[in-house]
Amino acid sequence: MYPEELEQLIFELKKLPGVGDKTAERYALALLDLPSEEITIFAQSLLDSKQNIHFCSVCGNYTNADQCSICLDGARDHQTICVVATVKDLIAIERIQQYTGVYHVLGGLLSPQKGILPEDIHIDQLLNRVNDSTQEVILALNATVEGEMSALYIQKKLEGLTTVSRLAFGLPIGGHLDYADDMTLLKAFEGRK
C-alpha cells in the first residue's frame, strides 16, 4: 500500500514499546509532514543519543560523562543507596522528588528460567559500593517472582553489612478492595501501620 521506505519506517517504529500498527503508521505519516530540517535534527538526536549516552561507572544510570549527575551531586545522601532494576525505575522514583539518596541500577532481575544469574546483573558492583559509611540500602524492585528473588538474594548478601529495607507493598491510591488480587491484599495487611 505504501512505498517501500515508508513501510520500513512503520516497521521500525513498531519496535518501540506500546506502538502498534496504527500508531506506527500515524507516527510515520507525521514524520513525513515535518520539514526536512526538523527531520535532520530528529535523526541527529537519535544518533547522538546512541553514540554518547552510556551507563554511569558508579550506579548504572544513563549519562554522557563518566559519572551521572546524581552520583556527582554533593547535596545527595551518598550513605543511602536505592537499588532498582532499570533506569526507567530510577526515573520513576526521581519523578516524585522525595528521595535524596543515590541509586544502583542492577540492569535486570534474577531469573534462572531466562538464564539470568547473579553474575549477569550488577549485584557484585553493589556489594563493592556498600561500605562502613553506608547507612541503608533500599530495595525498590518489582513485586514479581524475579523481583522477590533478586531482593532476597541481595538481602542475604548484605546481611550484617548495613540496614536493608524494602518499599512497601499494598493497595494503590484510589484502588478498590474488590479488584485487588490476594497477594496485594496480603501485602497490604502485612505492611499496615
| Domain assignments of the chain as residue spans, ordered by start | 4-52, 65-166
Distance set, CA 71 to CA 106, 179, 182 (Å)? 15, 40, 39
Amino acid at 28: A
Q: What CATH architecture applies to the domain 4-52?
A: Orthogonal Bundle (1.10)
Please state, in angstroms and rounded to a whole number, the distance separating the CA atoms of residues 83 and 185: 25
4-52 and 65-166: identical CATH topology: no
Please tell me the class of the 65-166 domain.
Answer: alpha beta
Per DSSP, the chain holds a count of helices (H) and strands (E) of 8, 6
Enter the pTM of the model: 0.84
C-alpha 109/C-alpha 117 separation (Å) is: 8
Q: How confident is the model at residue 1, as a pLDDT?
A: 80
Tell me the average confidence (pLDDT) per consecutive run of 10 residues in the chain, 193 residues long.
92 96 96 96 96 97 97 97 96 93 97 92 96 95 91 95 89 75 78 69
Strands 62-63 and 54-55: antiparallel
pLDDT for 193 equals: 64
